[in-house]
Amino acid sequence: MDYPLILTLGVTLYWIILGISGGLLLRYTTNNTRILFLLGVFGCITLLLIGIFSLNSTPGNVTLPIGIPGFPLHFCRDNLSAFFVLLLSVASIGIGMFSSHYFRHVDSRTQSLLFFNYHWFLASMVWVFLAADAYGFLTAWEFMALSSYFLIVAFKSSPETSYAGFLYLLIAHLGAIAILFSFTIMSPSQPDFTFEAMRHGLLSPTKANFAFILALAGFGAKAGLLPLHIWLPEAHPAAPSPVSALMSGVMLTTAIYGMLRVFFDLLSNQDIAINCGLIVLIAGLLTALLGVILAAMQTDMKRLLAYSSIENMGIIVLAIGLALLFNSAHLSLFAALALVAALFHCFNHALFKSLLFLCTGNVLHATGERNLGKLGGLIAHMPWVAGFALIGTLAMAGVPPLNGFFSEWLLMQAFLFSPNIPIPYLNMLIPVAAAAFALSIGLAAYVMVKFYGIIFLGKPRETKLKHAEDAAFLEKLGLGWFAVWCVLTGLFPFPILHILNQLTANLLNQPNLALPQQSSWLFLTPTQFTRGSYSPFLLFCFIILIVALLYIMIRWFYNGQSRRSPAWDCGYGLQTARMQDTAEGFGQPITHIFSPFLYVRSKVPAAFDNTPVYSSQTDDRFWNVLYWPVLQLILMGAKLVSKLQQGRISYYLLYSFLTLLLLLWWSA
């Protein structure tokens, strides 16, 4: 018996019961969200404590006789699962606290629906992380997809929302089918679906590679890899903000978990071609680049964050690809470095993206606007939210000493070891990939300046923004939870690095792998000290120290007076808030540079037009190039099939007769 695992499953059971009873309670009473969501948070805290106290315990297995007779559910808690459960618990504590206030003003029917699905969603994600057989995994995966679907469409039933939900469900199921096929190929003897059996079975190289690609496609659909990313920018604006935070921060990482589980665990004994790693690398790279370019030209703040999630998933997948390449060249140390970068970025992304999505929730509540072009100047009216969002923004822009920088630093360090791979064309390709990765980091900073600058800085673009109210106490608590984590993991990444070092050593099946990614608690190094080092805490201290010294010295020696006056703006007195850059304006240079890769429709009026109308819309090309033709084909096929439908019983009898004949002929 493995007690941490049993306790974790107990927490999920608690959530299910809480979800059902709380959902019923909310349906028939009012004003109970606060206490009920906090009860859910209690489960998350328990999960976090279990995770912390069982860090060093050995992996445990549990078999529960639930489900179809003869197929008991297997659960396993190894380092990989434990890390992702930890990630979920950290993220869900903050999101739960935030939700407890956020959903107060919704009608009771929606409240009960949200509450029920929210807790199902949490529980099913934990099951995904813990499942140790294909059957249990896919069941949990389906629960996850369905509960999140209901969360997306719960809020308001506009055509866009149901369209977004439908698209999400469609892509989620395409992915699920690919995963199912992949698992089917990997199961050696059909009645045994356990991961243990898959791990030890021996597949032919063709089959193994096929399973690999299917798993990449299946999990890639969930992670939003190119070209299966189209559901993300639709789903996030439709979903309520805490749900977006949970989906982006945690649910996307289930896909990363799945990839790691399949690539490094289930297929670890198989003969995987080295080019599979390259495919993963390139898929991640293209996703990261396209995600960030499209993020730069969004005008809806949640769409912008959705595209940025795509970018971050791309970076994580890129790191996984690099790890696969190192691993197939038997360079376990460097593979571990890249894997640590991937996992650390998962964790960081969960923190800062949840924080930013929750902040957009506050902005949305306070102003009712998602459109960047109608926001602005909120730092004056919502100082708390603006402060927390600044931390999230800097973390996501990847600047030291916050956490987002550190994982990118690790990945760059891993890239620097690529000349050790003894394959010439990879030696030439990987540095180019590193360059493209660097480009995506540069663009991410652009995106974040746009996001923060247009929402919080400047003058309010609409008069109603002046009445915007700051977050409530519980919401601040939720935001603050993430902000503190962002800063602390940035300054002291060592505890998490310690977990990850152990995890990667086990995952790569090299228990004695020496990963001195920390030479002391102060300095971080990739492999050894001479290779380069980074000390976020000292860096932070120095900056604070110099700022303080400077401030005191200027006050002491020089004029510390200031006077307020209207803005100067080169002496132009008639400036209005509408002269600031809009979201389109700020993204215009990027649109201009990358226009060949995008689908831009703009309408500019002629010089003497009396009723001038400007419009510009930018989409990615994938919808038109890939999805639209497929859609048309399916519709055409459906039309052909509908010709069979005549509405007369004699025809249908004829069809039955013909089918029977055909079958008889076949079996004969």
Partner 1 sequence: MSILVSISFQFFQSVLLIASAPLLMGWMGQNRAWLSNKTGAGILQPYRVIHKLLLKETVLAKNASFLFCSVPYIYFAVMCLITMIIPVFWSQMAFSAIADVITLIGLFALARIFLALAAMDIGTAFGSMGARREMLVSFLAEPAFLMVFFNLALMNQTTSLTQIVTTMLSHSFLINPSLAFAAIAFFMVLLAENARLPVDNPTTHLELTMIHEAMILEYSGRHLALIEWANQLKLLNYFAIAIALFCPWGITNTLEMTPLISSIVIVVFKLLIIGSGLSLFEVLSAKVRLFRAPEFLTSAFILAILGVLIQLLALR
Binding residues for partner 1 restricted to 491-530, rule: CB under 8 A: 523, 526, 529-530
**Residues 374-393, interacting with partner 1 (CB under 8 A):** 376-377, 379-380, 390
Task: Report if residue 531 touches partner 1, rule: CB under 8 A.
Answer: yes
* Member of 216, 323, 394, 486 binding partner 1 (CB under 8 A): 394
State the nearest-atom distance from the C-beta of 298 to partner 1, in Å: 15
**Considering beta carbons, is residue 3 or 551 the nearer one to partner 1?**
551
Number of shown-chain residues binding partner 1 (CB under 8 A): 85
**CA distance to 256, 373, 497, 630, per residue, from 637 (Å):** 35, 42, 53, 11
Residue 559, by phi and psi: left (phi above 0), alpha (psi -120 to 50) or beta? beta
| Residues 204, 264 contacting (CB under 8 angstroms) | no
State the nearest-atom distance from the C-beta of 394 to partner 1, in Å: 7
**Considering beta carbons, is residue 240 or 398 the nearer one to partner 1?**
398
Task: Report if residue 552 touches partner 1, rule: CB under 8 A.
Answer: no
Question: Rounded to whole angstroms, how far apart are CA atoms 231 and 200?
Answer: 36
* Member of 512, 562, 611, 667 binding partner 1 (CB under 8 A): 562
Q: Which of these ranges, 13-21, 81-89, 168-176, 444-452, lies near partner 1 under the rule CB under 8 A?
A: 444-452
The runs of H, that is alpha helices, within 457-492 are 473-491
Q: Which of these ranges, 196-204, 327-335, 557-565, 615-623, lies near partner 1 under the rule CB under 8 A?
A: 557-565
* Member of 539, 598, 600, 626 binding partner 1 (CB under 8 A): 539
Task: Report if residue 439 touches partner 1, rule: CB under 8 A.
Answer: yes
Q: φ, ψ for residue 74 (rounded to 5)? A: -105, 135
Q: Which of these ranges, 10-18, 308-316, 330-338, 409-417, lies near partner 1 under the rule CB under 8 A?
A: 409-417
Task: Report if residue 434 touches partner 1, rule: CB under 8 A.
Answer: yes
402: DSSP letter: S
Residue 246, by phi and psi: left (phi above 0), alpha (psi -120 to 50) or beta? alpha
**Residues 571-600, interacting with partner 1 (CB under 8 A):** 572, 575, 577, 579-581, 585-586, 588-590, 592-593
**Residues 83-142, interacting with partner 1 (CB under 8 A):** none
Question: Rounded to whole angstroms, how far apart are CA atoms 37 and 28?
Answer: 16
262: DSSP letter: I
Task: Report if residue 423 touches partner 1, rule: CB under 8 A.
Answer: no
Task: Report if residue 543 touches partner 1, rule: CB under 8 A.
Answer: yes
Question: Rounded to whole angstroms, how far apart are CA atoms 668 and 660?
Answer: 12
Task: Report if residue 52 touches partner 1, rule: CB under 8 A.
Answer: no
| Residues 387, 362 contacting (CB under 8 angstroms) | no
SS (H, E, C) 97-136: HHHHHHHHHCCHHHHHHHHHHHHHHHHHHHHHHHECEHHH
Estimate to the nearest angstrom the gap between the alpha carbon of 366 and the chain centroid: 25
Task: Report if residue 570 touches partner 1, rule: CB under 8 A.
Answer: yes
- x-or-dash string of contact with partner 1, 210-249, rule CB under 8 A: ----------------------------------------
* Member of 1, 68, 567, 668 binding partner 1 (CB under 8 A): 567
**Residue 537 in tokens:** 């805490």
**Residues 456-485, interacting with partner 1 (CB under 8 A):** 457-459
* Close Cβ partners of 653 (under 8 Å, ≥ 6 residues apart): none
State the nearest-atom distance from the C-beta of 433 to partner 1, in Å: 11
State the nearest-atom distance from the C-beta of 525 to partner 1, in Å: 9
Q: Quickly count: other Cβ atoms within 10 Å of residue 177's Cβ.
A: 13
Helices 205-223 & 301-328, crossing angle to 10 degrees?
Answer: 160
Whether the bond into 419 is cis, omega within 30 of 0? no
**Considering beta carbons, is residue 186 or 329 the nearer one to partner 1?**
329
State the nearest-atom distance from the C-beta of 45 to partner 1, in Å: 33
Question: Rounded to whole angstroms, how far apart are CA atoms 273 and 209?
Answer: 7
State the nearest-atom distance from the C-beta of 356 to partner 1, in Å: 15
**Residue 593 in tokens:** 């540079």
* Member of 137, 388, 415, 482 binding partner 1 (CB under 8 A): 415
